A and B are shown apart, each in its own frame.
Chain A
Amino acid sequence: RYIRQLQRLQLLLSPTSADSRGARQFVEEAAVDFARQHPDVVLYVSLRSGRAPVLLAEYLNGTVREELIANKTNEEIVQLATKLAGQSGLDIIRIRKPFHTDNPSIQGQWHPLTNKPSALTVQGPRLQPK
């Protein structure tokens, strides 16, 4: 059971400015293919003139990521979109450990007294002479 963490992709275009040429080409050619390959991602395209073209990605835990797509070619936008689709909404900061377990020890956690004979069997020094 795999649930994609990307909720929506909002593409803000502007029909006239030159830096959203790649975005317009993406919308014309590759957007439908992208939507078919990722059926659980919703793709919105809205035309806003007077603003830089931006790809907004919203994830299931509420984080919103903006990526500028000004002056990018069609293929680059496709790669960006697939990268965003594979990410989850966690912050991209330094992670201390590359693994995470809920049950770290199964056979009991090691403490310095494992594998040592118990105090009952160890023979101490005999105080009374025999």
Chain B
Amino acid sequence: MIYSVMLEGAKSMGAGAATIASAGAAIGIGNVFSSSIHSVARNPSLAKQLFGYAILSFALTKLSHCVCVCVCVCVCVCVIYIYIYIYKTKYPNELKTLKFP
């Protein structure tokens, strides 16, 4: 396995870029609970069932945040090595490596 400082930097940059997607998930979850508050304010007698719906929607919306974390972990662990492996098998005689002092 190749290890170099540039590689670690690239992985960190990729992970940082992948974290931006959590913003959408946060907006979505806030939307869910905002609608839940509105609906309970309109009809407080159905509070229990509405709370059930709110929790169900929260669980479904959390999917985007979890996919974001999964992509982040993927970037940090496996993507760059897969890329290097493909590059090496495609051009086996290349002497250019990613090593930097």
**Chains A and B bind each other:** no
